[in-house]
Structure 1
Amino acid sequence: MKIHKIIVLIISFYCLLNFSAWAEVFVHKKDIQSAWKFTQSNGPFHTVPIIHNNQVIALPKGGQIVSVALDSGKKLWSKNYEKGIWERSLSVGKESVYYGTKDKQLCALDAKTGHNIWCVFLPKNMQRAVIERHNKIYVVTAELGPGLDGDKTKGGSIYAINSNSGDIIWHKKTNNYAMQSPIIKGDTLYVAGSYDDPSVDIDEGGPVSIIALDADHGNKKWQFFSEDGFIKTLYATDNFLAFVGYQDFISGLDVHTGRLLWRRDSGNWVPAISGYQDTLYYGSANTKVHAWNISNGETLWEYNIKKGSFNYTLDAPIKVGNYLFFLSQRGGLFILNAQTGKPIIHRNTGLVAHIGLATNGKWVVIGDSMGIIHAYDVSQLLQNN
């Protein structure tokens, strides 16, 4: 499939998620009440609210960044930007909140107060979350993406930026016109994105690459090329890296060489993957939740969500301690045993959401399709189980 067709599919799917009326068919009568909820705006959440210390920091579509108290939902501060903020750019470091504006700025706020720290203009828009390491943040810019009308033959860039001042430390150009948020493991930065290759014409997928860089200086270690299309997420250990793309496959690479070690059918469409040590977790559209060994792609366990078709995971499951948390398409809040996949909790929230949940193991936070933040006390859920 040609690149422009893939872009159309991505944008079409993105638009489809905005029709909350369509999603109403998934709502069941709720059997749990939230501990608190906070109404931010009428816009849906397309990025998961972030739990940071004793705060929840969130940004719905077309809204403003807001911080509320984790234990009560009381508003602490908010930040608006007249020209708009890319909602998927919201991220939080140790002490700062980072976001990208629709006039090509990257900005940092004090996480406790919401006060401005710095802003820096970049040549292109930053639509993805940054990652912070020591006194640096790593940023990717995009040539194409939702709301952008760029040239697919031109690539975005990767930046290392001083987190205290906003000064650029190093900058590398790529041929990837759109990139996912980078991840870092050890001293290696991994960035994945799509690039243009007119010679590639396949029914599913498209040309993508994963670049491994020295995090301190930006020197390229290796680059892996694939036709899996639109890489969604990466997960890395000291020895292995796994990724899932537009095609229904998950692949494992050797992080030292970039060599493909295994590639396995995921069973159906996968929104994202996550991991802990050598275990990968993901949910697929066949309603199954999986745990795989990242070294060889072998199955460790499977769990089937038993509430009918289309009731699959939103985003990737999140492991905290011995628990694995996820939200399903029909608003089901699940907690599994992360080692065995055996169910511990399944409760109906009654919510319509476009994205998954956030959790620190004590609280679960969900941003719904109406711009409302809901919080659930995990200890109460376990007590009432």
Structure 2
Amino acid sequence: MKKLNQLFALFLLLISIPSYSQRRVWEQGTGAAIHASPLIDNEYLFVGNAQGIFFKLDQNTGEVIWKYNSKAPIFADAAVWNDLVLFSNEKGNLFALKKDSGKLEWVVSGNPTQAIDLWDYYRAGPVAGKDKVYWGTEDGGLVALEPNTGKIIWNFPTNGAIHMSPVLEGNMVVVGNFKGKVFAVDADNGKQIWSFQANGSEYFPNAEFHKSPTVIDGKVYLGSRDTQLYVLDIESGKKNYEYTEAGGSWIIASPLVFQEKMFFGSSDTYKFYALDRNTGEEIWSIRTYTRSYATPLPYQNTVLMAGFDGKIRAYELSTGEQIWEFQTSTSKDNFSKLYTPEGKFRNDLTIHSAEEGEKLLNNLGPIVSTPVLNQNLLFFTSLDGKVYAIKLP
């Protein structure tokens, strides 16, 4: 009887411990690095890779439904307009394909895009709304196009390369460029409503803006290479406040604004932050030993962070306590080349150049794009060329 009581007590203990297991549902290789987030549309995912191949995948199985060769690398997120899916490539072309068949409907040609350095991972993708498609170009134009034909309706010059997808908010289109300027433009006629100039820093005077701003509750949240995160008023463009990353790191990630907090990762200080959204005061921060350029996601009582180390981490919203992590098979296979078993950087490595360091990091399959959630299924892409689907607890 004593043994039975002990077993029963053990059973009660086991069922009282919450399960934080994540299960890989599927992974689909595409043959080349993926910089873009997957786009969910009904039961399908759309995404392009660095070989210029654009894919339609079955959301439930990862099966390739069709693929289209755009003949140049794809680094930008896609968008959907009615029965069309739209995306851009490095030749500066904007494509519209039929969602069901992948048949080309139209293509608009622009100037080829180019990375300014090793860390310029993103390009401007299209955004659809208000009977138009909005898109930023390498020569600094914010353009509005007719969705069914690709005909340009208006073109607003920003005088700096645009590598982020614009954000449509009400009757405004908001976009930032590589000269550290943010613009709000009338979505109907392309007239400027306001502009804002970032500070710049000693080493990054242009204050390049990489990722799309987060626009919520009348505020624009946007990080820059000048180590600042700016919070602007959506109506006037005036600065509410700015937050400076204490270690002097870029803030590339578009922040998540959720439950009166703002969450984002840094670049070379390898930290993840929770700030008071109204004041910019730090609530908590964690050293993660990885860059994070993706926008965090809320899930249940946690915030999800995607890292360059090929891991997805879940942190408790209030305290920053790590609840669970998921590591891709690519990261597991190569993790010891850069990290100790404790997850810290190895101190016995000699790296002679930035290129050598990035090559070592890329072996892990960095997750540079923002994952997307559909209920408890999380979809994300990696520089290892794969699309992943995992089931969350």
| Superposed pair shares fold, TM > 0.5 | yes
Equivalent in 328, 331, 335 of residue 349 of structure 1: 328
Task: Measure the CA separation in 2 of the matches of 1:78 and 1:267.
Answer: 45
Q: Secondary structure at the match of 1:257?
A: coil
Residue of structure 2 in register with 1:214 after alignment: 186
Equivalent in 87, 91, 101 of residue 113 of structure 1: 101
Residue of structure 2 in register with 1:146 after alignment: none
Larger radius of gyration: 2
Residue of structure 1 in register with 2:294 after alignment: 315
How many equivalent pairs are there? Answer: 318
- Would you say the 8 A contact 2:38–2:372 is kept in 1? no
Q: Secondary structure at the match of 2:246?
A: coil
Q: Secondary structure at the match of 2:75?
A: helix
What amino acid sits opposite 2:124 in the alignment? R
Residue of structure 2 in register with 1:52 after alignment: 41
Q: Secondary structure at the match of 2:178?
A: strand
What amino acid sits opposite 1:290 in the alignment? Y
Task: Measure the CA separation in 2 of the matches of 1:71 and 1:335.
Answer: 23
- Equivalence map 1:101-250=2 (5 Å): 101-122=89-110, 127-143=123-139, 156-195=140-179, 208-228=180-200, 229-233=207-211, 234-250=213-229
Q: Percent identity?
A: 19
Task: Measure the CA separation in 1 of the matches of 2:236 and 2:195.
Answer: 9
Q: CA deviation at 1:291?
A: 2.6
Q: CA deviation at 1:312?
A: 4.2
Residue of structure 1 in register with 2:69 after alignment: 80
The reply to whether residue 371 of structure 1 matches residue 352 of structure 2 is no
Residue of structure 1 in register with 2:273 after alignment: 290
The reply to whether residue 267 of structure 1 matches residue 246 of structure 2 is yes
Q: Secondary structure at the match of 1:35?
A: strand
Task: Measure the CA separation in 2 of the matches of 1:54 and 1:373.
Answer: 15
Equivalent in 361, 372, 390 of residue 359 of structure 1: 372
The structure showing larger relative contact order (alpha-carbon pairs under 8 Å, at least 6 residues apart) is 1
Q: CA RMSD in A?
A: 2.7
Task: Measure the CA separation in 1 of the matches of 2:90 and 2:233.
Answer: 37
Task: Measure the CA separation in 2 of the matches of 1:251 and 1:102.
Answer: 29
Task: Measure the CA separation in 2 of the matches of 1:314 and 1:175.
Answer: 25
Residue of structure 2 in register with 1:4 after alignment: none
- Would you say the 8 A contact 1:240–1:295 is kept in 2? no
Task: Measure the CA separation in 2 of the matches of 1:91 and 1:63.
Answer: 13
The reply to whether residue 91 of structure 1 matches residue 105 of structure 2 is no
Q: Secondary structure at the match of 1:93?
A: strand
Task: Give deviations 1:309-351, integer Å, cap 9, x for gaps.
Answer: x234342212356542222233322223446544332233343
Task: Measure the CA separation in 1 of the matches of 2:57 and 2:269.
Answer: 36
TM-score by length of 1: 0.74
Q: CA deviation at 1:102?
A: 4.6
TM-score by length of 2: 0.72
Structure 1, unaligned runs of 5 or more: 1-30, 144-155, 196-207
Task: Give deviations 1:180-218, integer Å, cap 9, x for gaps.
Answer: 2211222111111134xxxxxxxxxxxx21111111111
1:343 and 1:70, CA in 2 relative to 1: closer, same or farther beyond 3 A? same
- Would you say the 8 A contact 2:305–2:312 is kept in 1? yes
Residue of structure 1 in register with 2:351 after alignment: none
What amino acid sits opposite 2:107 in the alignment? C
- Would you say the 8 A contact 1:57–1:68 is kept in 2? yes
